[in-house]
Amino acid sequence: MDAAFPHLFAPLTLAGRTLRNRIGFAALSTRYGDPYRISERQVAHLAARAAGGAALVVTEALAAAPSAATPVRVSAFEEAALPGLSRVAEAVSAQGALPVGQLWHGGSAHHGPRGLDAVGASAVPDGMSWTVPRILSDAEIAGLVEDYASSAERLLRAGFAGVEVSAAHGFLPLQFLSPVTNRRPDRWGGDAAGRSLFVREILRAIRSRCGAGFLIGLKLPADDGVPGSIDVTEAQRLVRHIVADVPPDWLCFSQGSHSNGWALHLHAPDMHDPVAPYRALWRAMRQAAGPVAIAAIGRIQAPHIAEDILASGDADLVMLARPLLADPNWPAKAAAGRAASITPCIGCNACWGEIHRGVATGCSVNPHAGSPRDGKPVERAAQPKRVTVVGAGMAGLQAAVGAAERGHHVTLIGAAPAPGGAAALHARLPGCADIARAIAHLMARAQASGVTWRLGAAADLASIRDTDPDSVILATGAAMPPPPGFEDPAGAAQNIRAAAAALLDNPARRGGLAVLLDLDATPATYDAAELLASHFDRVTLVTPRDAIARDSPLLVAQGVHKRLAAKGVTLLACRDAVSLRDSVLTLRHALTGAEERIAGVDLFTYATSRVPRDDLAGPLRAAGLAVRLVGDALAPRLMLSAVREGQAAADSV
């Protein structure tokens, strides 16, 4: 038993199987698979989490039935999927972890356009896509139960230790559990007993087919965030029916649902939320679950938080998804007394955003996520070189760390007296302090790997050549120019970075009206709008687009709208800013051309599309130096891409 985290590293026995600790890797969608099948990239991804010390490794959602089939989910219902599933089971088991397959059926739940072939408990539209499902017949429901059991038995034959049935996030089993989406008059609907019958029959069929030694977990919400649906009292009622009939080996409670379109973000609380925000719900569920183990999930950032959850009795194990994407070796580092070296998940939800836009997931703090190097020791360079990195933002820090850890002699030049660049300002905005943890983590690694710091003075050709570099990495960021019509440097308009810094440095309340013109559509812009709302009586957010936060990951966008609405921020869409004279801002409707005026503007600030600061690239190349641009200096981008490019530049040296 580990001295620092005795509860976290205590073994746990479930269904006769012993887990080496209380840490599980929770299901996390990746888009790493081949269409309908397991890929080698997926195998390596799951094996890395097992090698990093997790006791349970749960696959991402696997389609449990033909009516759940989609190219981005492995078809566990097909025998042809068996070889790939076997490779996963073998790879995970070889690292000492128990492989668990998550069985899934989306039902009517869709993120994108309406589904035309969706099935569901009742003809109730999905809250996000407005998909109206075809109502399942009694015989079809019984057939689905058989499909789940057959898929579970296939996983057993593949070598899996168990399954987790996904009945959360608005998917088909939750559509049966919820009184909002289940309006059936037959045995599958009505009261909690009827609405839980589908889930209970799935659990019963799996247990019958796979035996007592096969692990069965159940994931469902303790609060799905939908009015009139499943709150904590209804969740307790459902859990009591399930546990009294066919108790699973563990219950994992993950919040949120598709059903009202705005509750999905609850399942992945972000940096604006407190750590472990659902502890009260876990306690309530323990009262209903009796002897069944409770698995905690949701923003469990660090080992000491997990230890406290377990020591308090709020849960029996912790399920980590985003933290183990950020650092597969999270468990091993904690067990070895190196918790401080864990790469911190910052709750930015960029990982979720990548899969939602249809590409393989990534991580803003783990540039190797999804690559063969994920979780592996650093590969040292064959020949050390002198590398100069110009710019100490996230891209520059990652480049410097990556190169130094490979054995190169690295000099990092930054214009500001402290590292972090634009990310350091973002970290000071409301709810964004986790970004500072990422900066501090990279600074610690830079110092440990011997990076030479030159901060507080802008670089020029002479100062760079003075370092005698073999290679130069430019990470000099981007500027935020004024919008058309506001170019006068003596004018009243101010870019949002300067405005936010001034408010943070002088936190006295200003009162009056602030107007923010959004031409950038990044999360930092909306975090800055929250800052304005804490200093001004009224805040108006203006954009020429038809809506804000369209470029943000869906879960982030939902949080943005929720917070800005709570703070009373007024949104004006389809408007361009024309002029500001005598505290009167003139706007023009982007579609009709009609003008309107806002009087009494005390602060007009703007967030515009950024322009790369790449002025040094030409002179450096003309001087014969090898130069690579990364991050915003290459083209404006978010942290995930900037960090990935910084590491790629370091790997290329």
CA 390 – CA 464 distance, rounded (Å): 8
Reported as a single tens digit per residue, the pLDDT across 107-162 is 999 877 888 899 999 999 999 899 999 999 999 999 999 999 999 999 999 999 99
Share of the chain above pLDDT 90, in %: 94
Closest-CA residue to 531 (of 506, 557, 556):
506
CA 322 – CA 299 distance, rounded (Å): 8
Length, in residues, of the chain = 653
The overall longest dimension of the chain from CA atoms, in Å, is 80
User: Torsion-angle region of residue 376: left (phi > 0), alpha (psi -120 to 50) or beta?
Assistant: beta
Share of the chain above pLDDT 70, in %: 100
Reported as a single tens digit per residue, the pLDDT across 341-397 is 999 999 999 999 999 889 999 999 999 999 999 999 999 999 999 999 999 999 999
> So what's the pLDDT on residue 2?
64
Residue 1 has pLDDT above 70, yes or no: no
pLDDT level of residue 623 (50, 70, 90 thresholds): very high
Average pLDDT over the chain, rounded to an integer: 96
Indicate the pTM of the whole model: 0.96
> So what's the pLDDT on residue 489?
76
Type of residue found at 493? A
Domains defined along the chain, listed by start: 12-356 (3.20.20.70), 386-479+612-652 (3.40.50.720), 493-609 (3.50.50.60)
> So what's the pLDDT on residue 630?
98
Reported as a single tens digit per residue, the pLDDT across 508-528 is 999 999 999 999 999 999 999
Structure-token pair, residue 200: 């209970």
* Rounded average pLDDT over 33-52: 97
Half-sphere exposure (CA, 13 Å, Cβ side) for 625? 26
Q: In degrees rounded to 5, what are phi and psi of residue 568? A: 75, 20
- Lookup result for tokens 């031409």: 519
